[in-house]
Amino acid sequence: MSYQFDFSFLAERWPDFVSGAWLTVQLTLLSIAFGFAVGTVCALIRVYGSPLLRRPVGFYVELIRNTPLLVQIFIVYFGLSSLGLKLSAETSAVIALVVNMGAYTTEIMRAGIQSIQRTQLEAADCLGLTRLQTILHVVLLPAMERVYPALSSQFVLLMLASSITSQISAEELTAVANNVQSDTYRSFEVYIVVAVVYLALSVLYRFGFWAVGLVLFARKRKLRTAL
């Protein structure tokens, strides 16, 4: 094989990669935050809500989980704009990612919430906690602690999936790669570089969520036992 690898484009274009990676981080953190909020509310509805609300939430979850993110992004970006709602690529990307993340979070958090025993709720009642206090301290935090590994790996998967938003020209990391490779014709090298950046980001995210877990679940940190 006589292929000569040539990474010289990095000398000139590295700021592009940095800004692309930064946008990826921004897009994904925003989507994770809002997606988690949507998913948690939906999960509470799915477990404790009235059947009238449970049905639509179940429908939303199944619909999103059984269709590709790429098509969801197209519907938000091209579909909504043809209906008259013009959104920028970045806004559409975040909306699609939030909707997607929300559905997966719903399923994960539902499992966590269902694992909270009735007796815990009764005990909270006896202690005179308000409904909101019960939900926050007795239901959500322990539920989250139980499913945290699944949750954080889903967050990392979302970060990786955000590369798909390059298809609607949101200028994140993969879109930058597409631009650079069409300028330099060093496609293989460009995607190797980007793959390495994504790997680094996913390691960084995993570490970050592990650290957040330490802060969030003080009980687990101090007692060193599983819930």
Partner 1 sequence: MIQLNANHFIYLLMAAEWTLLLSLIAFAGGALVGLPVALMRVSRFAALRILASGYIQLIQGTPLLIILFLSYFGLGILGFKLAPLVAAGLGLTLYAAAFLGEIWRGCIEAVPRTQWEASDCLGLNRFHQYAYVVLPQAMRIAIPPTVGFMVQIVKNTSLASVIGFVELARAGQIVNNSTFEPFVIFCAVAAIYFAMCYPLSLAARHLERKAHVGR
167 lies in the binding site for partner 1 (CB under 8 A): yes
Q: Which of 42, 44, 144, 194 is close enough to bind partner 1 by CB under 8 A?
A: 194
Q: Which of 54, 58, 179, 191 binds partner 1 (CB under 8 A)?
A: 191
% helix, strand, coil for the chain, step of 5: 85, 0, 15
Contact 144, 109 (CB under 8 A): yes
- Does the footprint of partner 1 cover residue 62 (CB under 8 A)? yes
Which position has the token pair 């920028």? Answer: 88
Beta-carbon contacts of 169 under 8 Å, excluding residues fewer than 6 positions away, are 89, 175
Binding positions for partner 1, 3-22, rule CB under 8 A? 3
The verdict on 160 binding partner 1 (CB under 8 A) reads yes
Pick the closer one to partner 1 by CB: 4 or 50.
4
Q: How far apart are the first and last CA of the chain?
A: 55
Among 18, 63, 136, 214, binds partner 1 (CB under 8 A): 63
Binding-site string for partner 1 from residue 33 to residue 52, where x marks contact by CB under 8 A and - marks none: --------------------
| Phi, psi of 115, rounded to the nearest 5 degrees | -80, -10
Q: Is 182 in the site for partner 1 (CB under 8 A)?
A: no
Q: Taking CB under 8 A as the rule, does residue 134 contact partner 1?
A: no
Please tell me whether residue 60 binds partner 1 under the rule CB under 8 A: no
Q: What is the largest CA-CA distance in the chain?
A: 76
Count of alpha carbons within 13 Å of 55, Cβ hemisphere only? 2
Our finding on whether 187 is near partner 1 (CB under 8 A) is yes
Of residues 5 and 128, the one with the C-beta less far from partner 1:
5
Shortest approach of partner 1 to residue 202 CB, angstroms? 4
Owner of token pair 């709720």: 121
Tokens of 204: 């960084």
Amino acid of residue 141: L
Residue 45 class from Cβ within 10 Å (0-12 exposed, 13-18 middle, 19+ buried)? middle
* Nearest-approach distance from CB 150 to partner 1, in angstroms: 13
- Cα separation, 213 vs 152, whole angstroms: 9
- Among the listed ranges 11-19, 31-39, 195-203, 216-224, the one in contact with partner 1 (CB under 8 A) is 195-203
- Write out the residues near partner 1 by the rule CB under 8 A: 1, 3, 62-63, 65-72, 74-75, 78-83, 156, 160-164, 166-167, 174, 177, 187-188, 191-192, 194-195, 198-199, 202-203
